[in-house]
């Protein structure tokens, strides 16, 4: 059986990201299904590793209703984070390096020792060393930020860059913390961590389960993004972005 050209799809998406040039959707025309899309995502990661990037974590996507509704895809997805995608807290990104960047407020986990694949997480505090407010900068490589489920999976779930705020010990409850996204001091989005699968801790269970299906095991020391609590907002040159998560603090990013 001849399947979709996974390597060719990864190359096309990789080039689109490298040149900040949108490409058309691929899944319908190539017969890409979810499994082949994760294979393309792995090939896209390989392309980054081959040029010296390091895999540093995993991100969840579409773990909130607000995000699902914004992009019209209603399945939880996951993608890969590399060291080059990380921007220091308070750092600046050049909007011109992206196609149509958007920012969204997230909660990050610093992973500790995780149970063997298939085993449930017993104590969340043993699995997660610290938590932090975060900003994810997403940038679909597809024209008009429009895609199907396999398209967005192949495109590494629109991952582009991320900022992690200060780490703190895991607080008693994570399921009902207020979340704000501010642009230039004005509130752009308001939400709650409850929007993330009812409790962002659940995103880790889902990440372990869904990535495990594709043979990917989460590692000690990795960063884990639980998924945005609100819809994403376009990032304009000159913007000053703050994501505030109650009890956890603030992550900031500037755009030039
Ligand atoms: C897909 C990525 C979704 C999230 O936090 O829900 C995501 C997209 O919106 O383009 O990162
Ligand atoms: Mg996200």
How remote is the C-alpha of 63 from its chain's centroid?
10
For residue 73, give the ligand nearest its CA: 1
For residue 79, give the ligand nearest its CA: 1
Rounded to a whole number of angstroms, the CA Rg of the chain reads 17
For 92-141, how does the pLDDT look when each residue is reduced to its tens digit (9 = 90+)? 999 999 999 999 999 999 999 998 877 888 889 999 999 999 999 999 99
> Which atom of ligand 1 approaches the CA of 228 most closely?
5
The reported pLDDT for the residue numbered 119 is 82
Residue nearest atom 4 in ligand 1 by C-alpha distance: 61
The reported pLDDT for the residue numbered 1 is 53
Whether 33 is covered by a domain: the verdict is yes
Determine contact, residues 103/181, Cβ cutoff 8 Å: yes
Ligand 1 site residues (CB inside 6 A) read 61-62, 67, 71, 104, 136, 138, 140, 152, 157-158, 227-228
Strands 92-93 and 249-255 come out as parallel
The reported pLDDT for the residue numbered 159 is 98
Mean pLDDT for all residues in the chain: 96
> Which atom of ligand 1 approaches the CA of 227 most closely?
5
Q: What is the span of the domain harbouring residue 175?
A: 6-255
Share of the chain above pLDDT 70, in %: 100
Whether 1 is covered by a domain: the verdict is no
Distance from residue 99's CA to the centre of ligand 2 (Å):
16
Q: What CATH number should be reported for the domain holding residue 115?
A: 3.90.850.10
Whether 175 is covered by a domain: the verdict is yes
Counting the structural domains of the chain, the total is: 1
Q: ipTM for the complex?
A: 0.99
What pTM value is reported for the model?
0.97
Determine contact, residues 249/242, Cβ cutoff 8 Å: no
As a whole number, mean pLDDT of residues 169-177 equals 94
Sign of CA dihedral 63, 66, 69, 70: negative
Distance from residue 174's CA to the centre of ligand 2 (Å):
18
Whether 54 is covered by a domain: the verdict is yes
Residue 171, class by beta-carbon neighbours within 10 Å (0-12 exposed, 13-18 middle, 19+ buried)? exposed
Q: How far apart are CA 199 and CA 102, in angstroms?
A: 24
Q: How many CB atoms lie within 10 A of CB 129?
A: 16
Of the candidate ranges 115-124, 215-224, 247-256, the one whose mean pLDDT is the lowest? 115-124
For 14-73, how does the pLDDT look when each residue is reduced to its tens digit (9 = 90+)? 999 999 999 999 999 999 999 999 999 999 999 999 999 999 999 999 999 999 999 999
Whether 227 is covered by a domain: the verdict is yes
The reported pLDDT for the residue numbered 171 is 93
Maximum alpha-carbon separation in the chain: 55
Whether 172 is covered by a domain: the verdict is yes
The reported pLDDT for the residue numbered 117 is 75
The reported pLDDT for the residue numbered 122 is 84
The reported pLDDT for the residue numbered 43 is 98
Whether 137 is covered by a domain: the verdict is yes
For residue 63, give the ligand nearest its CA: 1
């Amino acid at each position: 059986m001849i399947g979709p050209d996974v390597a060719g799809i990864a190359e096309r998406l990789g080039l689109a990201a490298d040149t900040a040039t949108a490409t058309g959707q691929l899944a319908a025309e190539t017969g890409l299904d979810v499994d082949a899309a994760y294979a393309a995502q792995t090939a896209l990661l390989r392309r980054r590793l081959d040029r010296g990037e390091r895999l540093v974590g995993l991100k969840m996507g579409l773990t909130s209703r607000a995000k699902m509704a914004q992009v019209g895809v209603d399945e939880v997805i996951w993608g890969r984070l590399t060291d080059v995608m990380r921007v220091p807290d308070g750092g600046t990104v050049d909007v011109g390096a992206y196609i149509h960047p958007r920012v969204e407020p997230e909660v990050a986990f610093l992973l500790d020792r995780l149970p063997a694949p298939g085993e449930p997480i017993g104590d969340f505090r043993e699995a997660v060393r610290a938590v932090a407010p975060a900003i994810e900068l997403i940038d679909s490589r597809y024209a008009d930020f429009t895609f199907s489920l396999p398209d967005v999976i192949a495109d590494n779930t629109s991952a582009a860059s991320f900022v992690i705020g200060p780490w703190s010990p895991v607080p008693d409850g994570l399921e009902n913390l207020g979340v704000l996204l501010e642009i230039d001091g004005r509130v752009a989005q308001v939400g709650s961590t409850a929007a993330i699968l009812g409790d962002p801790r659940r995103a880790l269970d889902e990440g372990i389960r869904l990535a495990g299906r594709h043979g990917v095991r989460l590692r000690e020391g990795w960063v884990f993004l639980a998924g945005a609590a609100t819809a994403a907002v376009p990032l304009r040159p000159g913007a000053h972005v703050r994501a505030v998560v109650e009890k956890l603090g603030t992550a900031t990013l500037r755009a030039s």
